[in-house]
Amino acid sequence: MSQRPYWEVDQESRPYGSQPGGGVGGPYGGSTQTTEPLGHYSPPPPPRRKRPSVSTIVAGILAALLLVTGGFLASELTQEEPTETTTTAQNAPAGPVPVRVNEPVAEVAKALLPSVVQLETDGGLGSGVVYKDGGLILTAAHVVEGNTDVVVRLSDGRRVDGSVLGTDPHTDIAVIDAEADDLEVATLAIDVPLEVGQTAIAIGSPFGLDSTVTAGIVSAVGRTLQTQSGGAVSAVQTDAPINPGNSGGALVDRTGRVIGINDAILSGGGDNAGIGFAIPIDTAFQVAEALEEGETPTIGFLGVTPADGTGSRLGALVTSVVEGSGAAEAGIQEGDLIVRYQSEPIESAADLIATIRATQPGTTATIEIVRDGQAQELAVEIGEPPSD
């Protein structure tokens, strides 16, 4: 019995993000993902107040007495020796947190909460992370979409004005300049490899509840996440509970370093189902530095319009090739199935888009295609997107 090629699989075993038939409309497009952005939480109107009955008041007094007594006893039983703390410059990165073995999340929350803000926009509420001196804040582009100005609510309760310096819809990253110079700067885990299973702590404002901390693990890395604009980016998957309003907030490791910017959840009803996604901090920081200077972030361009492989074929199916592009010069043709890029598997159109965008223009890459059932490798020079 002959063995199937690796690019052919049973339909039941297709991995996440590889649903068939996801055609796109241009060389930048990608297949549709069932992820939902988390920003723009709009609080509901307050409910009408009801007068409590006499029985309710009596029950409340009894419960309060029990709570006071129980709280006193609990505090007597659980008192700990105070831990030493060190102070740093007010607006300098806090640095890795000295972790207590029994309560690492509590220590991280204490250190990072001053660096995570709530953003009020015309569309609702979101979150942001102070990442540089001078009030520079990272957030998700869909949180501030359509806004040039926002209100920044700090962890100490202050509200300051902020302006949107720039957005990048391809990676869903935006930068805000807040009118405050004394903000606590978060430590970023730049060039720090992530491990599946490591602690992941989400901090933000889900449903408008500012300074909310939840914890879980890094469930996967390198997941292809499709943004609202049709772009795609390699993302961190986590089971740390994140919900609407968390977008733009911090995903943090157990030492208090920001590893990602919370961005989307996989859900059919808008609520958390244990599958959330964050833009890796390396990607977010690189994009932010370009936006600070008013520049367009540099991305790679292959010059093909991809669709997901059909039937049992995993990969990115080439539906058209841009004349004069690196793909055309290398001999890639309509109907080719791209299955590997630099020896890494490509399982969908979104996979290809995210991978190409993350490649520096001028790079010569080895791309493996399947044509007429035969695999072959082509050397392709990655270019820059056309200016028009």
267 and 302 housed in the same domain: no
CATH number at residue 348: 2.30.42.10
Instruction: Tell me which of 59 and 153 has the higher pLDDT.
Output: 153
CATH number at residue 218: 2.40.10.120
**Number of independent structural domains in the chain:** 2
**What span, in angstroms and rounded, lies between the C-alpha atoms of 215 and 185?**
21
**What span, in angstroms and rounded, lies between the C-alpha atoms of 99 and 102?**
8
Q: What is the pLDDT of residues 62-101, one digit of tens each?
A: 344 334 333 333 333 333 444 443 334 445 565 666 655 5
Helix (H, G, I), strand (E, B) or coil at 207: helix
Instruction: Tell me which of 9 and 130 has the higher pLDDT.
Output: 130
Which residue, 248, 263, 292, sits at the end of a domain?
292
186 and 321 housed in the same domain: no
Token output for 225: 């996440």
In the prediction, which pLDDT does 80 show?
Answer: 40
242 and 331 housed in the same domain: no
pLDDT band at residue 268, thresholds of 50, 70 and 90? low
Torsion sign across C-alpha atoms 135, 201, 282, 295: negative
In the prediction, which pLDDT does 66 show?
Answer: 35
104 and 204 housed in the same domain: yes
Residue 365's domain comprises 298-381
128 and 266 housed in the same domain: yes
In the prediction, which pLDDT does 87 show?
Answer: 37
In a domain, residue 12? The reply is no
Sequence length of the chain is 388
206 and 353 housed in the same domain: no
262 and 317 housed in the same domain: no
Helix (H, G, I), strand (E, B) or coil at 40: coil
In a domain, residue 22? The reply is no
CA angle (27 as vertex; 378, 364 as ends), nearest 5: 30
pLDDT band at residue 385, thresholds of 50, 70 and 90? confident
Token output for 134: 């001078």
Tell which residue, 201, 236, 199, has the closest CA to residue 217: 199
In a domain, residue 8? The reply is no
318, 302 Cβ separation under 8 angstroms: no
In a domain, residue 137? The reply is yes
56, 332 Cβ separation under 8 angstroms: no
In a domain, residue 262? The reply is yes
Q: What is the pLDDT of residues 201-217, one digit of tens each?
A: 999 998 888 889 999 99
196 and 222 housed in the same domain: yes
**What span, in angstroms and rounded, lies between the C-alpha atoms of 15 and 12?**
9
190 and 315 housed in the same domain: no
pTM higher than 0.95 for the full model?
no
Token output for 43: 């609080």
CA angle (171 as vertex; 169, 175 as ends), nearest 5: 75
Q: Judge whether 172 counts as a catalytic residue.
A: yes
**pLDDT of 57 above 70:** no
Active-site residue, from 31, 127, 172, 336: 172
Active-site residue, from 142, 177, 325, 348: 142
pLDDT band at residue 45, thresholds of 50, 70 and 90? low
Q: What is the mean pLDDT of residues 287-291?
A: 95
137, 129 Cβ separation under 8 angstroms: yes
142 and 249 housed in the same domain: yes
Which residue, 292, 309, 337, sits at the end of a domain?
292
In a domain, residue 65? The reply is no
Q: Residue 266: enclosing H or E segment and its boundaries?
A: strand 257-266
In a domain, residue 75? The reply is no
Active-site residue, from 155, 247, 267, 348: 247
In the prediction, which pLDDT does 4 show?
Answer: 54
Q: What is the pLDDT of residues 302-356, one digit of tens each?
A: 999 999 988 778 999 999 999 999 999 999 999 999 999 999 999 999 889 889 9
Q: What is the mean pLDDT of residues 31-41?
A: 52
322 and 175 housed in the same domain: no
Which residue, 292, 311, 337, sits at the end of a domain?
292
253 and 304 housed in the same domain: no
151, 178 Cβ separation under 8 angstroms: no
In a domain, residue 363? The reply is yes
Tell which residue, 262, 268, 269, has the closest CA to residue 247: 262
**What span, in angstroms and rounded, lies between the C-alpha atoms of 347 and 21?**
13
